[in-house]
């Protein structure tokens, strides 16, 4: 486990340049094991609230909830409210100081975005195309950071995240995006950009911090085991969600201050 609760200068510089930073072995083994135990139990009973693969309409997803695999859970929603282990992690002193480095001295957990356990089923998992998370979020500034904790191995063959470094600093014309704001891979500029992709392969306990404007994608799970990840999103206190939007639907939670 990383002993220093803060990013190094080099890691901060990498985040500013590439839009992400990884911290290996950040979460204690006992925390990871407890999260995985709770996540597996909630998945087995499809404890609400959940999002099904069929709800995403992503490539490879079941056509409807009534189709074969249509009741396959993709996300266990509202992780913060599910169990004390997720609440403790979301506000953990292992991540809070790093978030204040990236966002400022007063950082807030958004309960309206991410705040979930991502599950990827071997039999019915879809492909997530290239997108930016900020596309459907409404804040005063597009400056949020997501924290992705691996609860097991994340590799290309079980659908780990793929990242396009530096895209959080780039502007994209409407012609390069489809109606759902996915990157159009058929554009010549996009084909060149996709050559820069990296795979965020992780071990249990590893954490990926990434910017809300960073383009990322993920393949399906081609193994025999379900993949579990916990994801939370944070913003600065002076960058609130816009009133009346989905982003403001649930109360934000302040991170402990140093």
- The confidence score (pLDDT) of residue 241 equals 98
The helix (H) or strand (E) run that includes residue 145 is strand 144-150
Give pLDDT, residue 110: 98
Rounded CA gap, 102 and 104, in Å?
Answer: 6
- Sheet strand arrangement including 198-200: 128-131, 216-218, 161-163, 198-200
Mean pLDDT, rounded, for 23-49: 97
Residue 4 reports pLDDT greater than 90: no
Other Cβ atoms closer than 10 A to 110: 23
Mean pLDDT of 139-159: 98
Tokens 């201050």 sit at which residue? 257
Q: Can you list the alpha helix ranges (DSSP code H) found in 19-95?
A: 29-44, 53-56, 79-82, 84-90
Across-strand partners of 211? 145
The closest alpha carbon to 83, from 227, 230, 235, belongs to 230
Please report the pLDDT score of residue 59 as a whole number.
85
Residue 119 has pLDDT above 80, yes or no: yes
Three-class DSSP category at 51: strand
Topology given in CATH for the domain delimited by 9-249: Jelly Rolls (2.60.120)
For residue 48, what are the contacts with CB-CB under 8 A and spacing of at least 6?
none
The 10s digit of each residue's pLDDT in 189-222 is 999 999 999 999 999 999 999 999 999 999 999 9
In this prediction, residue 80 carries a pLDDT of 98
Polymer length of the chain: 258
pLDDT confidence bin for 3, thresholds 50/70/90: low
**How confident is the model at residue 2, as a pLDDT?**
53
pLDDT in tens, 60-106: 888 999 999 889 999 999 999 999 999 999 999 999 999 999 999 99
Ranges of each domain in the chain: 9-249
Contact 142, 103 (CB under 8 A): no
The CA-CA-CA angle for residues 59, 146, 111, to 5°, reads: 95
Q: What was the pLDDT predicted at 57?
A: 85
Q: Which residues contact 81 (CB under 8 A, 6 or more apart)?
A: 87, 111
Per-residue pLDDT tens digits for 222-254: 999 999 999 999 999 999 999 999 999 999 999
Q: What pLDDT is recorded for position 178?
A: 93
Determine what percent of the chain is predicted with pLDDT higher than 90.
87
**What is the percentage of the chain residues whose pLDDT exceeds 70?**
98
| Residue 95 and residue 28 in contact, taking contact as beta carbons nearer than 8 Å | no
Task: Record the pTM.
Answer: 0.95
């Amino acid at each position: 486990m990383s002993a220093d609760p803060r990013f190094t200068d080099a890691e901060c510089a990498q985040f500013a340049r590439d839009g992400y930073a990884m911290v290996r072995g950040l979460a204690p083994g006992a925390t990871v094991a407890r999260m995985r135990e709770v996540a597996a139990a909630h998945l087995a009973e499809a404890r609400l609230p959940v999002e099904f693969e069929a709800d995403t309409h992503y490539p490879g997803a079941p056509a409807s909830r009534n189709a074969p695999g249509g009741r396959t859970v993709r996300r266990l929603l509202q992780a913060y409210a599910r169990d004390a282990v997720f609440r403790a992690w979301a506000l953990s002193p292992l991540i809070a100081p790093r978030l204040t480095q990236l966002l400022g001295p007063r950082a807030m957990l958004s309960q309206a975005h991410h705040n979930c356990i991502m599950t990827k089923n071997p039999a019915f998992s879809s492909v997530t195309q290239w997108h930016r998370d900020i596309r459907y979020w409404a804040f005063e500034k597009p400056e949020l950071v997501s924290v992705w904790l691996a609860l097991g191995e994340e590799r290309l063959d079980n659908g780990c995240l793929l990242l396009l470094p530096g895209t959080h600093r780039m502007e994209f014309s409407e012609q390069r995006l489809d109606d759902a704001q996915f990157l159009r891979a058929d554009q010549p500029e996009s084909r060149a950009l996709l050559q820069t992709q990296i795979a965020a392969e992780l071990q249990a306990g590893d954490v990926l911090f990434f910017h809300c404007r960073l383009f990322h994608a993920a393949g399906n799970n081609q193994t025999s085991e379900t993949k579990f990840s916990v994801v939370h999103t944070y913003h600065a206190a002076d960058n609130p969600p816009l009133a009346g939007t989905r982003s403001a639907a649930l109360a934000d939670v302040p991170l402990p201050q140093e």
